[in-house]
Amino acid sequence: ANGMMGITGTNGSRFHYRLTTGGSTSASTTAGITAPYWVKVVRAGNVLSGFKSDNGVDWVQQGADQTIVMSTNVYIGMAVCSHSDGVLCTAEFDSVSVSGVGTNQAPSVDAGTDQQITLPDDDVDLDGTVSDDGLPDPPATVTQTWTKESGPGTVNFGNENAVDTTATFSTDGVYVLRLTADDSDLNAYDEVTITVNAIANQAPSVDAGSNQQITLPDDDVNLDGTVTDDGLPSPPATVTQTWTKESGPGTVSFGNENAVDTTATFSTDGVYVLRLTADDSALQ
Residues 265 and 178 in one domain: no
Residue 101: what pLDDT?
59
Q: Tens digit of pLDDT for each residue in 225-238?
A: 999 998 888 888 89
Q: Tens digit of pLDDT for each residue in 109-143?
A: 999 999 999 998 999 999 999 998 888 877 889 99
Residues 52 and 114 in one domain: no
The number of domains in the chain is 3
Any domain includes 153: yes
Q: Tens digit of pLDDT for each residue in 21-58?
A: 999 999 999 999 999 999 999 988 889 999 999 999 88
Any domain includes 4: yes
Residues 189 and 222 in one domain: no
The pLDDT-based confidence of 100 (bands split at 50, 70, 90) is low
From 211, 218, 215, select the one nearest 274 (Cα to Cα): 211
Give the domain-ending residue among 197, 218, 245.
Answer: 197
With beta carbons less than 8 A apart as the criterion, state whether 204 and 283 touch: yes
Burial class (CB in 10 A: 0-12, 13-18, 19+), 183: buried
Which stretch of DSSP H or E encloses residue 130? Answer: strand 129-131
Identify the domain containing residue 142 by its residue range: 108-197
With beta carbons less than 8 A apart as the criterion, state whether 186 and 107 touch: yes
State the average pLDDT over residues 251-256.
97
With beta carbons less than 8 A apart as the criterion, state whether 35 and 7 touch: yes
Any domain includes 151: yes
Any domain includes 229: yes
* Measured CA distances, 232 to 119, 168, 197, 254 (Å): 13, 22, 14, 28
Q: What is the DSSP string of 242-279?
A: EEEEEE-SS-EEES-TT-SEEEEEESSSS--EEEEEEE
Residues found in the chain: 284
Residues 163 and 179 in one domain: yes
State the average pLDDT over residues 147-169.
98
State the average pLDDT over residues 93-112.
85
Q: Which residue has the higher pLDDT, 132 or 99?
A: 132
Residues 185 and 251 in one domain: no
Residue 230: what pLDDT?
87
Residues 187 and 226 in one domain: no
Establish whether the linkage from the previous residue to 233 is cis, with ω within 30° of 0.
yes
Residues 214 and 239 in one domain: yes
Residues 224 and 263 in one domain: yes
The pLDDT-based confidence of 262 (bands split at 50, 70, 90) is very high
Residue 103: what pLDDT?
72
Residues 97 and 156 in one domain: no
Residues 112 and 95 in one domain: no
With beta carbons less than 8 A apart as the criterion, state whether 183 and 106 touch: yes
